[in-house]
């Protein structure tokens, strides 16, 4: 054996096996209820940094299981992943599990390639607002709603007051602007791969992974480990990079009396957030 071959094998041995850094993006996108963590850039940034700094890194795999959530956080996480990928020159490959819908699909767009299971739910490229109208309820309970504002538009869409047409129109205009940003992200990342008219792709409809492949929303069907081994070889090792929750972050999220409202309202906030989370998953039959 030539000395160059020996030196090459020794160098490879000292470097260790090639690594795939796996970042899980699971759950509702947003800040989350007190004491619970949603998917947001503040919580994920450190983990993303560590993933792209992994020694002997071959690629970053995104394991996505999300029904969506906050559009701004979806966009911020997407941009951060793209920035790190460009800086490190590392490929990013996304894998949809049960769901990569709405903001979850926005996160998947940060990858160079997107894979899903045949039965994964993919798409829902739209914007939604949901809330409750409690006007009749408080009237039956004999409760009077008192609201005082400086600025005539400050109390729009108050759930305890009758809905106004001009407030709904303003909300629809905001949703239209966010929807346009989402559409632009899809076009920028998928480009000529898309194989359906805008009216179908951007209607808010969602599809199985098999149909999403036909539409050009994903690149293939496959599971994370087997697909990555096929791509990069059987010698690769997987390293899951998790977001670390610091002691200070825990205090900030749990001390609702100081940072998030009265302590005796904590259970109400948590219950409402849990209901919203459940509804977000239930929209897709999960």
- Active-site residues: which are they? 102
What is the Cα–Cα distance from 54 to 33, expressed in whole angstroms? 31
Kindly give, in sequence order, each residue whose CB lies less than 8 Å from that of residue 81, ignoring residues fewer than 6 positions away.
Answer: 48, 60, 62, 92, 107, 110, 111
- The DSSP secondary structure of 44-58, one letter per residue, reads HHHHHHHHHT-TTEE
- The torsion angles phi and psi of 76, rounded to 5 degrees, stand at -65, -45
Handedness of CA 246, 250, 252, 253 (dihedral sign): positive
Contact status, residue 175 vs residue 204, Cβ threshold 8 Å: no
Phi-psi region of 105 (alpha: psi -120 to 50; beta: other; left: phi over 0): alpha
């Amino acid at each position: 054996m030539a000395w160059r071959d020996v030196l090459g094998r020794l160098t490879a041995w000292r470097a260790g096996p090639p690594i795939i850094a796996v970042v899980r993006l699971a759950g509702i996108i947003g800040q989350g209820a007190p004491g619970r963590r949603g998917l947001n850039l503040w919580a994920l940034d450190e983990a993303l940094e560590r993933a792209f700094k992994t020694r002997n890194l071959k690629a970053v795999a995104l394991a996505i299981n999300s029904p969506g959530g906050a559009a701004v956080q979806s966009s911020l996480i997407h941009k951060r992943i793209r920035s790190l990928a460009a800086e490190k020159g590392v490929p990013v490959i996304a894998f949809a599990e049960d769901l990569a819908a709405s903001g979850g699909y926005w996160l998947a767009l940060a990858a160079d390639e997107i894979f899903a299971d045949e039965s994964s739910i993919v798409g829902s490229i739209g914007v939604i607002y949901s809330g409750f109208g409690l006007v009749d309820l408080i009237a039956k309970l004999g409760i009077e709603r008192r609201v005082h504002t400086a600025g005539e538009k400050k109390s729009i869409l108050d759930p305890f007051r009758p809905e106004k047409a001009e407030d709904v129109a303003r909300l629809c205009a905001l949703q239209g602007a966010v929807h346009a940003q989402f559409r632009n992200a899809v076009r920028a990342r998928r480009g000529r791969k898309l194989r359906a008219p805008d009216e179908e792709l951007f209607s808010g409809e969602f599809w199985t992974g098999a149909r999403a492949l036909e539409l050009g929303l994903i690149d293939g069907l496959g599971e994370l480990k087997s697909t990555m081994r096929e791509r990069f070889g059987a010698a690769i090792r997987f390293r899951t990079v998790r977001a670390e929750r610091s002691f200070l972050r825990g205090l900030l999220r749990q001390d609702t009396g100081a940072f998030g409202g009265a302590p005796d309202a904590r259970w109400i906030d948590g219950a409402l957030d849990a209901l919203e989370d459940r509804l977000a998953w239930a929209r897709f039959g999960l």
